[in-house]
Structure formats: C-alpha cells, structure tokens
Amino acid sequence: QVQLVESGGGLVQPGGSLRLSCAASRSGFSINAMAWYRQAPGKAREQVAVITTGGATNYADSVKGRFTISRDNAKNTVYLQMNSLKSEDTAVYFCAARLGSAIYFGSWGQGTQVTVSS
C-alpha cells in the first residue's frame, strides 16, 4: 500500500555529511509517521530517527545532535541529514512508514548503503 524508495547513500570520510531521501507513494492511506532504521553487520536493526506528520521527532542516543530527520508532506518525501559521520554509522539505512491504522512500522524501503571510511 505504501512504496518507499531510498536514495542518497554512498561513501563518505569520517566527519563528512550525507543526506538520505525517501520518496513515499501512498495508496489511499495516511502515513502517521516515518522513520529511518539502520543495520550494521553483526548488529540488530536500530531505529535512528522518527518523525510524525506534525513534525515531532525522536532520535537514538547514538545519533542525537548529529542527524536531523525532516519531512516534506507536499513531496511525500522524508530526509535524513547526517553530519559528523563516524565509522560506526556505517550501515544499510532503511526508510519505514507507519500508517494511521497501525501501531508499528510495517512498510519498508529496500535500503541504501552508507559507508564511512577513510
């Protein structure tokens, strides 16, 4: 019902910045919230940032102060601005959406690779 396509990943040196984008196409359902998750090799999937339709945000402690999630409702697009990147930020980043009728994030994108290395 909701298709999500991420873009913007790539290779960046420590201390650098990247901006991820997630384009959402809805099929008659309102999106209550969107989020960015990431999964690094050998680690569990981690929720890194959440944003509601109204603009309220929440961040994982590991990215707080460095990452910013934003949403353009007119464009149906969510962004993740990542600054001061560290090697431990290396992961596949996934965009997720929660519909108004759901209590968890059930729609997922394919993921985009972010590699922080010198």
Residue 102 is predicted with a pLDDT of: 86
pLDDT tens profile 15-26: 999 999 999 987
Question: Are 37 and 110 within 8 A, CB to CB?
Answer: no
Share of residues in the chain with pLDDT > 90 (%)? 79
**Rounded mean pLDDT of 28-55?**
91
Residue 91 is predicted with a pLDDT of: 98
DSSP state of 73: T
Question: Are 7 and 21 within 8 A, CB to CB?
Answer: yes
Residue 48 has pLDDT above 90, yes or no: yes
Q: Measure the CA angle with vertex 24, ends 20 and 28; round to 5°.
A: 165
Residue 1 has pLDDT above 70, yes or no: no
Q: Using a CB cutoff of 8 Å and minimum separation of 24, what contacts does 66-73 make?
A: 69/35, 69/36, 71/34
Residue 77 has pLDDT above 70, yes or no: yes
